[in-house]
A and B are shown apart, each in its own frame.
Chain A
Amino acid sequence: MADTALIPAERARPDLGAILYWGFVWGAGILVLIYLIGPILLALLMSFNSGTTLAFPPKGLSLRWYAALLDPVQSEPIHTAAKNSFEIALCVVVMVTLITAPAAWALARAPRKMVNAVEPILLAPLVLPSLVYALAALLALSLLGLGPSFIAVLIGHSAVFAPLMFRTVLGLAQRMNPALEEASATLGASRARTFLRVSLPGIAPGILAGAFFVFMQSLDNVSVTLFLGEPGRTMLPLRLFAMLEESLDGRVAAVSGLLILAAALLMFTLRRFTGRAAR
């Protein structure tokens, strides 16, 4: 019996089917990766261009576009637009968190039937084009006799992006062991204390991940902002678009560079944080 182990197994001869299969898997995989990452790398490279316009390949490497972007006089409109966008995005994240986290937590405790009935409605904004929602909201606003405003944008963004956080929190809340909250109660904790000390830490990774998605989507959004925002108040995406229309301004690439950096940093810290929470 032991002897058979000493006879070398015959090498499996690679057949044509396997070659085609793996060739396709690897080929398609690499193509998709290039498709996903390529443009981002391209934008990054162009942001370091030393030439006078957006161009590829870059003539030489320099930080001139970043310097120009940070210049308070020359880039004042961009700064204002960025400030407006960040302001909205932050407010949206706060509002979405305050509404969505408790809602998802409560729904995780509701009867299964109710969840099945309510969930599609709450997730509808995810599948509905935000353009449709923005138009509807604008019509509703004018029906109420209200005009475009900061508050309208805030509410609009919150409604459209809340499902992003709702999903991440609901997933965690549903998987949370109900005995944890029961244990807290048997130890004499009030409902509020149980929520703050036990439930909230349990769903915190979901809130953080959701906040990241909501922030990025709000920052990026054009249609809702365009329909519901005051015309005088420019937002970052609108400003960048306008700049590209005027000239091939290299500062646009520099903005993307900074955004890519910020997103990467945020994602990195988020992963570390949620990784630790899930320990």
Chain B
Amino acid sequence: MTETGLWISDVNHSYEGKQVLHGVNFNVPAGKVVALLGPSGCGKSTILRAIAGLIVPDQGRITLDGRDLTRVAVRDRKLGMVFQNFALFSHMTVAENIAYGLAGLPKAERVARVERLLDLVRLRPFAARFPPRLSGGQQQRVAVARALATDPAALLMDEPFGALDRALRSELQAELVRMQEDVGITTVMVTHDQEEAQAVAEQLVVMNEGRVEQVGSPEEIYDNPASLFVNGFIGHANRIPATVTGPSRLKARDETELGFNRALNFRPGSEIVVTCRPEDLALSTRPEQGAFAARFDRAVMMGPLLNIEATLPEGSQFKAQVPRDGTARPDRGQTIWLRPNPARLQVFPAPQA
């Protein structure tokens, strides 16, 4: 059976006896973009290097469109890679950089190919420049063009926007999406920036400490996080330690009781953590059933919304995002009540101390 796309199966890897990848599994459908997302040091680059062939993983299999790559040498894998700081050859012009992988082609074909790529990344006027004399964004586009020049079976990118300033990123992300759709190449992008991952990829693979925590679309991951880690890493999550008191009831540390419209998968008495997104909290200046009393700290307006920061009696910080509907803002230090929408609460087992 041949499966199209890129398949990473049960990959383990250790550096100097320290295991950094634990049974990594995911796949990239042919022609799609998947973002590998996770905090710094969680093993994203290591996985990418294993796919590229720059390291041989201790265990596991990597296949691309049915071809087993695990034992194939780097230069025979025919994959395009964009390195973290682009790794452009500074003693070669932009055109020479792009032509580097085309040594086997006849000259006329090579020139035509380089020109097509220069057009694709809109760098034709800079063909004769040397990379150090280009802006960060231009360097990134040279790196992408160089990787795509050999017509690779897949494109691997390690934090391709990491070296660029914020303002430039969203522009280049849109550009990359456009280009990827033009070329339709199977792509893996590594990033530690969730907004970037959501802007570019249809599928996210969220990693933590060498493990894949969740695979899914940005919506799935945001709305149904598989773990407390994913919940807090993708978007903000207010955490409420609590105890299960009934099939669909629980009690927080501050004695606030919450009822659910669904059964909890926890036995009564279990220690759990309930999480709540800032936008799923309603604000009130009077006590309410199922609302947490908190001290109002400050509010920052953001367009039609108000970002509120408050502190619970036991000291934990709460963030809420409510519509700016013209009602008077609470004063600093005043007690407010924040009521979560029970349908949107997430419940996880309490982390082992």
Q: Report which A residues bind B (CB closer than 8 A).
A: 177, 179-180, 182-190, 193, 197-198, 201-202, 277, 279
Contacts and interface: CB of A to CB of B under 8 A. Distances in A.
B150 A183 contact: no
A44 B101 CA distance: 54
Contacts of B103: 188-189, 193
A190 B81 CA distance: 16
Majority-rule SS of B interface residues: loop
24 contacts: A179-B83, A179-B84, A179-B85, A182-B54, A182-B83, A183-B87, A183-B89, A184-B89, A185-B74, A186-B52, A186-B53, A186-B54, A186-B77, A186-B147, A187-B75, A187-B149, A187-B150, A188-B76, A188-B78, A188-B103, A188-B104, A197-B89, A197-B100, A279-B133
A184 B80 CA distance: 11
Interface in B22-57: 52-54
Contacts of A189: 75, 100-101, 103
Given A187-B146, A193-B103, A279-B132, A180 B84 contact: no
Given A189-B75, A189-B103, A190-B75, A183 B81 contact: yes
Contact of B90 (A179, A184, A193, A279): A279
Nearest 4 Cβ contacts at the A-B interface: A187-B101, A179-B87, A183-B87, A185-B74
A105 to B, nearest CB: 16
Interface residues of B, number: 29
A102 B146 CA distance: 28
B18 interface: no
B79 interface: yes
B262 interface: no
A187 B100 contact: yes
B286 interface: no
A185 B100 contact: no
B130 interface: yes
A186 B130 contact: no
B159 to A, nearest CB: 12
Contacts of A277: 91
Contact of B87 (A177, A190, A193, A279): A177
A188 B101 contact: yes
Given A179-B84, A188-B75, A198 B130 contact: no
Given A177-B87, A186-B80, A189-B75, 4 more contacts: A182-B52, A193-B103, A197-B89, A277-B91
Interface string B86-113: 0101110000000011011000000000
Contact of B85 (A177, A186, A198): A177
B113 to A, nearest CB: 13
A187 B87 CA distance: 12
